[in-house]
């Protein structure tokens, strides 16, 4: 199967489950949270290869790194009663007590949602040996969010769509997404939700009304159609606007070479232009792991890479570190002036 890495940066699957005879996490009292944590810990001890650890036992910086990788929600950084379980050689993370009692998440490069789902499903089968989940005969798996009820399955793909943007076809893309029943967000949906670097997070809106496999097939068809639209637009703009695209790419290369500071927003735009240049054959001999830079240029990854600690001090100019880090990872030598 074509992983479509020229268009799909990565995809991931999330399965939501809630434990029978327990209220949803947001409705529990402090004492009830403690009792639920105890039951979860005792159950996970029976799965000997899993490590079950409280998030608030991790350092603040490690929790921030997990947020930037989209493993946990930002709210989980400061909340108690939340746990993570991992196992060597097992791709999915198991997150306890975000909105649901259990969320199983698996991230894969490119478009490979079937593989991600199979990995999550394998872990879910193991969890079912120590937990009994809420499952209604009519409505399926019960979840904290109505949209997730049924299969409890949420599917995401992070897509790189500069061709559609430069070809003036983003409106067509949004209409296609809306009519297909999927939701589109900007990649960094925090203080500024405006899409940066033509990167979009595309996910299913409803998890009910069909089986998990039917939902996977439908979402894979939608993603594949968007991939075809993007590739067609790229071919078109390279035929009619090649010089403009080359100019855009080379200007961004020059900014990276000469700049002394970069915000996260600037970095996302520049990395996107470099990726476009590589996909279009304009830039040669660039690193193969360009897609990882969209995560590695976020604040706590930059700080961790520079090993400047402590990570939560406000007097460190991350923008200076980010500019140097991006040059280093791209193998671009810093230009001197004078």
CATH number at residue 63: 3.30.590.10
Task: Give the per-residue pLDDT at 179.
Answer: 86
Confidence grade of residue 309 (pLDDT, cut at 50, 70, 90):
low
Confidence grade of residue 196 (pLDDT, cut at 50, 70, 90):
confident
Task: Give the per-residue pLDDT at 90.
Answer: 86
How many whole angstroms separate alpha carbon 222 and alpha carbon 162? 18
Would you say residue 336 lies in a domain? no
Task: Give the per-residue pLDDT at 319.
Answer: 96
Select from 233, 267, 286 the last residue of a domain: 233
Confidence grade of residue 191 (pLDDT, cut at 50, 70, 90):
very low
Would you say residue 2 lies in a domain? no
Task: Give the per-residue pLDDT at 190.
Answer: 43
Would you say residue 297 lies in a domain? yes
pLDDT in tens, 217-226: 999 999 999 9
Select from 197, 213, 233 the last residue of a domain: 233
Domain range for 74: 8-233
Q: What phi and psi, each to the nearest 5 degrees, are found at residue 12? A: -150, 160
Q: What mean pLDDT is predicted for residues 307-311?
A: 61
| 79 and 214 share one domain | yes
Would you say residue 172 lies in a domain? yes
Would you say residue 1 lies in a domain? no
Q: DSSP 3-state assignment of 204?
A: strand
Would you say residue 335 lies in a domain? no
Total domain count for the chain? 2
| 247 and 307 share one domain | yes
Helix (H) or strand (E) holding 251: helix 242-258
Arithmetic mean of pLDDT over the chain: 91
Q: pLDDT above 90 covers what percent of the chain? A: 76
Task: Give the per-residue pLDDT at 40.
Answer: 96
| 50 and 67 share one domain | yes
| 248 and 319 share one domain | yes
| 159 and 228 share one domain | yes
Query: Encoding tokens for residue 2?
Result: 């074509």
Lowest mean pLDDT among 196-200, 278-282, 310-314, 322-326: 310-314
CB count within 10 Å of CB 135 equals 13
Higher pLDDT, 316 or 317: 317
Would you say residue 124 lies in a domain? yes
| 102 and 182 share one domain | yes
Task: Give the per-residue pLDDT at 213.
Answer: 95
Confidence grade of residue 195 (pLDDT, cut at 50, 70, 90):
low
Task: Give the per-residue pLDDT at 197.
Answer: 76
Helix (H) or strand (E) holding 51: strand 51-54
Task: Give the per-residue pLDDT at 316.
Answer: 78
How many whole angstroms separate alpha carbon 99 and alpha carbon 254? 44
| 73 and 93 share one domain | yes
| 139 and 164 share one domain | yes
Task: Give the per-residue pLDDT at 288.
Answer: 85
| 86 and 142 share one domain | yes
Instruction: For 83-117, give the DSSP string.
Output: EEEE-TT---EEEESSSSSEEEEEEEESS-HHHHH
| 85 and 40 share one domain | yes
Chain Cα centroid distance, residue 170? 21
Task: Give the per-residue pLDDT at 19.
Answer: 97
pLDDT in tens, 124-153: 999 999 999 999 998 999 999 888 899 999
| 140 and 249 share one domain | no
Would you say residue 290 lies in a domain? yes
* pTM across the whole model: 0.91
| 229 and 246 share one domain | no
Task: Give the per-residue pLDDT at 338.
Answer: 61
Task: Give the per-residue pLDDT at 126.
Answer: 95
Positive or negative: CA dihedral 163, 168, 174, 176: negative
Task: Give the per-residue pLDDT at 308.
Answer: 66
Select from 233, 263, 283 the last residue of a domain: 233
Task: Give the per-residue pLDDT at 307.
Answer: 80
Phi-psi region of 231 (alpha: psi -120 to 50; beta: other; left: phi over 0): alpha
Confidence grade of residue 109 (pLDDT, cut at 50, 70, 90):
very high
pLDDT in tens, 13-71: 999 999 999 999 999 999 999 999 999 999 999 998 999 999 999 999 999 999 999 99
């Amino acid at each position: 199967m074509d992983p479509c890495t020229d268009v799909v940066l990565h995809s991931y699957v999330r399965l939501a489950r809630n434990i029978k005879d327990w209220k949803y996490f947001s409705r529990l009292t402090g004492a009830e949270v403690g009792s639920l944590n105890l039951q979860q810990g005792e159950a996970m001890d029976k799965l000997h290869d899993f490590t079950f650890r409280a998030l608030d036992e991790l350092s603040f910086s490690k929790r921030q790194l997990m947020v930037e990788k989209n493993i946990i929600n930002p709210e989980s950084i400061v909340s108690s009663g939340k746990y993570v379980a991992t196992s060597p050689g097992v791709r999915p993370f198991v997150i306890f007590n975000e909105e649901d009692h259990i969320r199983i998440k698996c991230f894969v490069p490119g478009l490979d949602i079937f593989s991600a789902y199979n990995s999550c499903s394998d872990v879910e089968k193991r969890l079912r040996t120590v937990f009994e989940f809420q499952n209604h005969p009519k409505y399926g798996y019960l979840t904290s969010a109505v949209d997730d009820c049924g299969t409890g399955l949420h599917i995401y793909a992070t897509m790189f769509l500069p061709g559609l943007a430069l070809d003036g076809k983003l409106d067509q893309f949004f209409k296609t997404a809306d009519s297909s029943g999927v939701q589109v967000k900007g990649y960094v949906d925090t203080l500024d939700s405006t899409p940066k670097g033509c990167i979009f997070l595309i996910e299913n809106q409803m998890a009910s009304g069909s089986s998990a496999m039917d939902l996977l097939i439908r979402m894979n068809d939608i993603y594949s159609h968007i991939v075809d639209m993007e590739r067609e637009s790229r071919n078109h703009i390279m035929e009619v606007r090649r010089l403009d695209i080359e100019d855009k790419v080379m200007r961004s290369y020059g900014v990276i070479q000469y700049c002394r500071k970069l915000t996260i927003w600037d970095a996302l735009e520049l990395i996107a232009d470099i990726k476009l240049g590589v996909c279009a054959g304009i830039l040669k001999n660039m690193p193969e792991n360009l897609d990882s830079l969209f995560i590695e240029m976020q604040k706590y990854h930059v700080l961790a890479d520079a090993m400047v600690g402590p990570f939560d001090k406000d007097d460190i100019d991350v923008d200076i570190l980010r500019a140097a880090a991006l040059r280093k990872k791209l193998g671009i030598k810093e230009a001197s002036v004078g």
